[in-house]
Structure 1
Amino acid sequence: MVAGMRFPILASCYFPATGDDTIAGGIYCIALTDLATYLSKTGNNPGATGTESPRGGGASASPGTGPYPAQAFTDPSLPNHTVFAPKTPPPADVSLPAVAWGNGGCGTDPSTHASFLVEIASHGYVIAADGVAGGKTGASQSMVKDMKASLDWFAQGSGAAKYGNVNASALTAMGHSCGGLESMSSAYHDDRVKRVVLFNIAIFQDQKRYLLQEIKIPVAWFMGGPKDMGYPNAEKDYKLLPAGLPAYKASLDTGHGSTFAAANGGKAAKAAVAYLDWQYRSDDKAKARLLDPKSPGSLVSENWTVEYKNWP
């Protein structure tokens, strides 16, 4: 879910200097009080599930299915965060794109998303996630400054280097729900971020959509179908991005919770890996999975609905 304190309504076409704000999730986010009003009007249930929602007892611990078995690390060089990375640094000729991750609810405990993040890391990515197991950071929610700390850590290089050949020039801001809006806010006016990926979220307030004009990099949404409280807003935001900006939008019938609770992060993790491999490794098979419904293992064949624009 989303944020903590009330966001002052921005004047039309006023672009703040940074994406930070007094509420969790930053300038693109919504205060919890405003969210309650929004949901009362729409009748949307954030806890709704769908035909693709994970069933059963939840995901068991796994090092992921990729070529580099992965795990979670706590790292003194990045306090109040968790690093998800291959257990053993891959060979030096393997470039590891970097991901800064924001949790649902802008929470300070990434455990809910751990299977998903370990799975991505096992395919050769290093992820810096807000918070630590148990949420013992001294804060009830993460803020944009927390994701900015991850961006700084990657950019400085020395702390991340122990995990392998981390490529800080291939840096994605990514998150779920409030954490997704935090990723968009963190990418705002920050040229270090090359891609934004949002799970199950988009801007709630129509009066804030003008801020989309300041997004200068490709955006991808992975949504949970019409029952997902972020779904109708993603439909709006996708249409209002700056002309010519590449964008990708896929939806799977899960409701707001996606497949994070499934083994190895389920279909959401498979989609995320395919998207990142396409973007940062120029992987033609991954690209086909995202764009070509007839491709083996395509998202469409796995019950996603897909729309995209402005890709070469």
Structure 2
Amino acid sequence: MEIGIDSFAAKFDDNSNDNDVEALEQLLDRIEHADKMGLHSFGIGEHHRREFLDSAPTMILAAAAARTKRIRLHSAVTVLSAGDPVRVFQNFATLDLLSKGRAEMVVGRGSFVEAYPLFGLSLQDYDALFAEKLGLLLKIRDNEFVTWSGKFRPAMNNQPVYPRPVQKPLPIWLGVGGTPESFVRAGMLGLPLMVAIIGGETHRFRPLVDLYRQAGLRAGYKPEQLIVGMHAFGYVAENSKQAADEMYEGYKIAMSGSIAKDRNFPPITRPRFDAQAGPLGAFLLGSPQDVAEKIKRHSDALGGLTRVSFQMDTANMKHDQLMNAIELIGTQVIPMVNDINDLGLPLK
């Protein structure tokens, strides 16, 4: 199982340019640290709002490529509906060249909608935009010369798209939330599935993951081609009480402002937070041992996971806390997860 980090380049407490410079420098330090600690992947999201510095994720990933050697670098997610598939492909193909074959895309429609009016798009076309642009992106990935026509972009007539990436094909995951049609679409296309589970009980997503696998099998894909990843809030400290106490205050701040209003989140209380940190909740939170066991439970609940990504910085954690958590994940959580998988140990 691959274990990594996802970041939205969050910054909640200061709007100055000096702070933004420091925040991005610290983010690059964390990516470099994750590479050294043996984590498998690092993803950067895409948002277009005050709280985040990730509106140009491939720029951040390219800077990270120059400071890392092994870790895979991906989006989390690229808001494909608001982009031009040609340009999106070119950006990630270039990243793949810079990183010597370590780039991936996770594409989706975006859980926030500010990109649509920003780029002159209508929310009435929310699904149609994504479906059309995903089709074009996949065609560009698989063909150097592209002939294509659609509704939202000028047609292409045997036009070449460069550069071409190192990896053939360039990995493209489909990022999904809780919409059944999105799970089915990923299965029908045979794309890897990245499920964002930011709350609730993980096992409740199993019927949706089953829809993905069933659609993929009907479309003729082999079971081993239908891989599933999970993105969830998480944090690791030396013991579980410390982890919960350190994450709660920052999480409450981050989830009680404009984000909570835009997403209609319920008020953050300690009992609700602790429920998410419990055995069935989505949070990957606790000591290394507790988190390793919870990752295994999540994997069992969803019928097997190929990748798990921790979302930590949205909880407004301090840089040194995140660096320590990354070290614990690399030096303790990953070996424990590997041991559990190798031995097939039953977990309560």
TM interval, short-chain normalised: 0.3 to 0.5
TM-score scaled to structure 2, two decimals?
0.33
Question: Rg larger in 1 or in 2?
Answer: 2
Higher helix proportion: 2
